[in-house]
Amino acid sequence: MKTLLFISLLLITTLSAAMVTSHKTAGLEYPENSLEGFLYSLELPIDAIEFDVHFTADREIVLSHDPVLDDYNCFKKGDKRKVIIAQTNLKDILALNCYNDKVKKYYRVPTLDSILEAYINSGRNDIELNFEIKVLDKLIENWSRYKGMEHKSFHLSEKEMGELALKKVRSFGIDSNILFTTFSRDLLLQVKADKKENETFRYGLLFKGFYAPFLWPVIKYMERECFDSCWWPNWKNTYKWLIKHKIDVFMPNWEQLTQSTYNGGFRKYFQKEGRPFEMYPWTLNDEAQWETYETYDFDGMVTDLPSDYLKR
């Protein structure tokens, strides 16, 4: 059955030039950032698998989108536990039995070791691993979910995170097909500067602009949360920064770039011939978005529903 699925999707994929990235290990088909979702994604004829990493108190690396495990992402609704990954040892995180409410499945938080081992043994080393090192402090600081918590304790320094990420990848003998991504420009440049001569890693900037609380009246009128939507994209400066630092991939937020307020600037600076980097927007999860996506000049896109997109 798996072989038939792979062959049928492969035939479909050959008809499309879109580079497809499975976001959060097919995060709306399986629990996001899970080993199960990663193994499933390896079976698909896709180009890349994206996952998010955080660092534990004993400096191990696990997959998680958020710095805190609570009833938003791991425990059932109403559970008051809050497990800060950066303050918790690996063995205690591995002991958790998490539940993903979106797909109604239990899962365990996987280590990066288990993901890289599965990748090495899969025979699918043509797939690029989109390795996001999680930072986005302004969002964390302004999210009501984390109100009253000490945000600086949510992760190590950027220097430490970059060094540990590179050390782990190198320990598996991987020197290619890794796309390091992050929202932090300083962290991205640090990881890029540490590349060895034989390594062909790529580097991508995730982007939402800078935090702009002055947008709050407008965002409130639109019935959205400021922590997630009060972001102002400085398209011109970002385009120049990408070129100056020879970044391989730009990953803008889909909802933001398509908003009428920001769309004109995005098209002016990024929808033109000769740009020296690839561009994959995130995250596109329905037919309307996929149809609109095809009217832009992108090199690929990121989706939580890779099999649905491939079946179109």
pLDDT in tens, 238-278: 999 999 999 999 999 999 999 999 999 999 999 988 999 99
Entry pTM: 0.93
Contacts of 247 (CB under 8 A, 6+ apart): 188, 192, 203, 204, 205, 241, 277
Hey, what's the torsion of the CAs at 189, 191, 193, 198, to 10 degrees? -140
Question: What is the pLDDT of the chain when averaged over all its residues?
Answer: 93
110-124, 131-145, 298-312: which has the minimum mean pLDDT?
Answer: 131-145
Which of 300, 136, 309, 119 lies closest to 230 in space, CA to CA? 136
The CATH architecture annotation of domain 2-310 reads Alpha-Beta Barrel (3.20)
Given this model, what pLDDT does residue 5 score?
47
Instruction: Give the length of the chain.
Output: 312
Tell me the angle at which helices 185-193 and 158-171 cross, rounded to the nearest 10 degrees: 40
pLDDT digits (tens, 9 = 90+) for 54-105: 999 999 999 999 999 999 999 999 999 999 999 999 999 999 999 999 999 9
The whole-angstrom separation of Cα 254 and Cα 232 is 14
Q: In this structure, are strands 61-63 and 249-252 parallel, antiparallel, or unpaired?
A: unpaired
The whole-angstrom separation of Cα 230 and Cα 79 is 29
The whole-angstrom separation of Cα 30 and Cα 40 is 8
